[in-house]
Amino acid sequence: MSVSPACPQPMALPEIVAAILDQMHGTKVLFAALQVNRLWAAEATRLLWRVDPPIRALADNKDAERLQCYADKITSLYLMGDKDAWKSRFILQGLRFPHLSQVIMKAPRSKDEQMFLQYLQPELRKFECGRGPVSKFYLMQI
């Protein structure tokens, strides 16, 4: 008869894994963590995708469920300088970004304004819009 431990293995607790990986710096370490198990992979992807994710890589993913899984982890989006990232914004339509706290982007043209409403989330704390004026409609939404 085996006796079960009073507490689970520390490395199986999401809080412990998150605390460990939060201290790791560099994508090489996080890519290695992706290969440990599902828990470590979930925490590593959260860290890899949360700040300024590669929008082009996100847009290249055709699996809608997987796409939303990554969007759920994103906390910061930068849609300014990269032409591919700017073009990819159409592919990101319809995604929810529940943890988005920062968006930096070009001012949308009036015909594109509706599409950018998806980035206005309750968690949003910083919104920067460069290159031109923002319409009254857009300001009212913010």
Q: What is the pLDDT of residues 60-72, one digit of tens each?
A: 777 888 888 888 8
CA distance 68 to 63: 9
Contacts made by residues 60-63, CB under 8 angstroms, sequence distance 24+: none
Tell me the pLDDT band of 49, cut-offs 50, 70 and 90: confident
Structure tokens at 107: 């001012």
pLDDT score for 25: 73
pLDDT score for 1: 47
